[in-house]
Structure 1
Amino acid sequence: MKVVQFLPSLELGVTATLALEFANELVKRGHESLVISAGGPLEARFRLHGSEHVNFPKISESVWSLRHKSRLRRILAELQPDIVHTYGRSTAFLTWRALKREPAGSRPKLVPLVDQYLSNSYFNKGVACGDGIIATSQGIAEHLKKSSTRFTEKSIEIIYRGINIREFDNEKPVASQWQLKLLNSYPQLEGKNWWLMPGVISASDGQEAFLHMFAQAAAQRDDIHGVIVGRLADNDLRYLKKLEALAQDLNLGGRVTFLGERRDMRELYATSQLVFHLAKEGDESGKYSKEALAMGRPVIAYSDGCAGEVLQKYFPDGLVRRGDMTALVELSLNLVSRPSTLNSQDFSYAVAADKTVVFFQGLLN
């Protein structure tokens, strides 16, 4: 089976990493893996593991992207893939338009991946016209079907995003040198129980809710310290400044630390008392909850998102109703239980790839 993954770029981030791991799994299974994108830092890793990369202009949700339609059609005619797996509405829309006039029996199957609620947009049509759709949670699949009749008769497969189970191995000890180095850099963390808030720093990832919750909890406990970790969305320094100002307004000076983007998430999970996943509804994949649970950490998350679906199975004690700040504070202060042992294989890249390949093969058959 020849699979093309089409995404805007290979910049460091969740989407490109997911595409990279899936490409690696395809090659391991003997399938042909190709990637179309504007390139980026991860391009060399795709090639290293046996995938072919085709450069393509970076596109966005704009009618101007349609000027690349003929170019994409020529590339796909040359590559002759069985599947075109798209990430984001813009790539799905352009692929649909490029293949629209091709005979149904000879064109590749279009399979968009949907990892968030889709707002009303003309570009949704590219997703709706896919031969099959992969949703990364039950909630997203249900939202698709409710949002438009175009989706009600579509084959929508729910496949949770995988995590790197080699990296998030709970049985590996945390090196004492790591903790010493961290405390030397951030002495305010020493002797405190860390409440960890991982995620992209953006208005949709829940840092503001975390700060409001933590302010109320910190007023009742002196032994806790909030740790916010993650990269800036679109290098938006203004939003980071807004969060830092909010922390000051809530009298959290010295009680919350912004660590920025880190490459030691396994250690941070392992040494935190609690992990929070408070993204806005429909704007999260449950990634951080899976990683934290794999590390044996208790997670608190809203009950209506992908993270909530994960916790419902593995750690229901950590569920809280969205918008109920009082319940969120109380649960955070009183949660003493620990997750049952998570079979991290359930969320491995390999399992996600197996399910995706089976779905692709079903569409081809």
Structure 2
Amino acid sequence: MKILQALPALYSGGVERGTVEFAADLVKRGHESFVVSKGGPMAEQLRGQGSKHIFMPIHRKTPASFGQILPMRKLLLALKPDIVHVRSRMPAWIIFLALKSIPAHKRPAVVSTFHGMYSVNPYSAIMTRADHIIAVSRCVQDYVLNNYPVPEEKLTVIQRGVDVDAFRQRELTSQWLDRWFRQYPQLVDQKIIMMPGRISRWKGQLDFLTMMAQLVRERPDCHGIIVGGAEPGKEHFLEELEKERARLDLADKVSFLGQRNDMTNLYLLADVVCHMSTKPEPFGRTVTEALASGTPVVAYNRGGAAETLQACFREGLVPPDNIGDFAQTVSRLLDSEPPAIEIPYRFRLEAQTEATLQVYEKILKQPAYRT
């Protein structure tokens, strides 16, 4: 098959990383893989793995983006993809408007993925107009069915998969460790409690600081690391976090590492990984990645992250917003033997690819798409 994925950009983020990994898996299986976006640092990785990237500024949530309808129409007619897979709302709008002027027999099949619980309005409803819809978790599936007139048979849950071997079949090299401890000498002989995720209020970094303040009172051998960058416009929240760290007297117990490109190493280095989103998260990719590395995860029992823990590591579930229980659970895991964590097949990248290809093939067998 010839498959075109569409998303706003290729910077860091779960949707972006998932798109690039899925594209690489498509190429390995002999399909033609194309991605259209405004580009970003991950476009080079995409090309290096055998996919083709097409630059198009389809990211802005403004009327100016509708200037891309004609270029998108030309692209679709020239490329003739079998499947267009839309992963975000503005690209979906541009693609659906471009398809309007293409004869029905020349149109590709369209699949959309709900990567989140989008606000319920006509702008978001464009994602329901695809030939088939994929939800990244059961909680996202329920959200779509409860808020949009979508037939249940038109929607499939496909958990976001990770390349388990890429995370687990690794060892930390002495060279990397030497560089790490030279850069962060405060972490020598410390239990490392990691909070991964971009700097955003709903991701729960404030809860993490409160939890660390409770933890280090009983466990001075612990050091927290917050890994993730502040997006443009969110720098003020990073400043707020730094002030809160000072207020809680955690300057020597919590470090901000910013954006990193060595997350696979950090998952292996960490003793415990924390997920503390203040609202249900659609999936929680960092949870699956950490567990794939064999590192225990503690998370609030809600949203897609909880679905992953319920399947892989129930010991890490904590009642939502109960910071005291969270600190106690982290401490208990630090004192326990390293757990044997098994990742069910449905959370693996190969399972995600196979399930998505089955959706594609099912659509293409429908009369409207038979050649």
TM-score (norm 2): 0.90
Moved more, 79-88 or 333-342: 333-342
Q: Point out where structure 2 has 5 or more consecutive residues left out of the alignment.
A: 366-371
> What code does the residue aligned with 1:51 have?
S
Indicate if the aligned counterparts of 1:274 and 1:299 stay in contact, CA closer than 8 A.
yes
Separation in structure 2 between the aligned mates of residue 43 and residue 264 of structure 1, nearest angstrom: 18
**1:93 matched to which residue of 2?**
93
| CA distance 1:10–1:240, change in 2 (3 Å) | same
**Secondary structure of the structure 2 residue equivalent to 1:68:** helix
SS state at 2:199 partner: coil
The 3-state SS of whatever aligns with 2:257 is strand
State the match for 1:195 in structure 2.
193
* Residue 360 (structure 1) shift: 0.9
Q: Which residue of 2 aligns with 1:183?
A: 181
Amino acid at match of 2:159: Y
Match of 2:286 in 1: 288
Flag the 1:87–1:327 CA change in 2: closer, same or farther, 3 A: same
Partner of 2:76: 76
Counterpart position of 2:245:
247
| AA matched with 2:303 | G
How far does residue 346 in structure 1 lie from its aligned partner after superposition?
4.7
Identity of aligned residues (%): 34
Q: Residue 202 of structure 2 aligns with which residue?
A: 204
Distance in structure 2 (CA, Å) of the matches to 1:93 and 1:141: 21
Q: 1:345 to 1:220 in 2, by over 3 A?
A: same
CA gap 1:74/1:280 in 2 versus in 1, 3 angstroms: farther
**8 Å CA contact 1:82, 1:108 repeated in 2:** yes
Gaps of 5+ in 1: none
- 2:369 corresponds in structure 1 to none
3-state SS, counterpart of residue 39 of structure 1? coil
From the superposition, tell whether residues 134 and 280 of structure 1 become closer, same or farther in structure 2 (CA, over 3 Å). farther
Q: Which residue of 2 aligns with 1:361?
A: 361
In the superposition, the TM-score normalised over structure 1's length comes to 0.91
Partner of 2:258: 260
The 5 A counterparts of 1:216-227 are: 216-227=214-225
Aligned residues: 363
Cα distance in 2 for residues equivalent to 1:47 and 1:225: 38
- 1:157 counterpart = 2:156: yes
Q: Which residue matches 2:8?
A: 8
Match of 1:308?
Answer: 306
Task: Flag the structure with higher helix content.
Answer: 2
Counterpart residue type for residue 154 of structure 2: S
Runs ≥4 residues deviating over 4 A: 101-105
Pairing 1:44-55 to 2, within 5 Å after superposition: 44-55=44-55
Instruction: Report what 2:139 is aligned to.
Output: 139
Q: CA RMSD in A?
A: 2.2
Offset of residue 351 of structure 1: 2.4
CA shift, 1:330, in A, is: 2.6
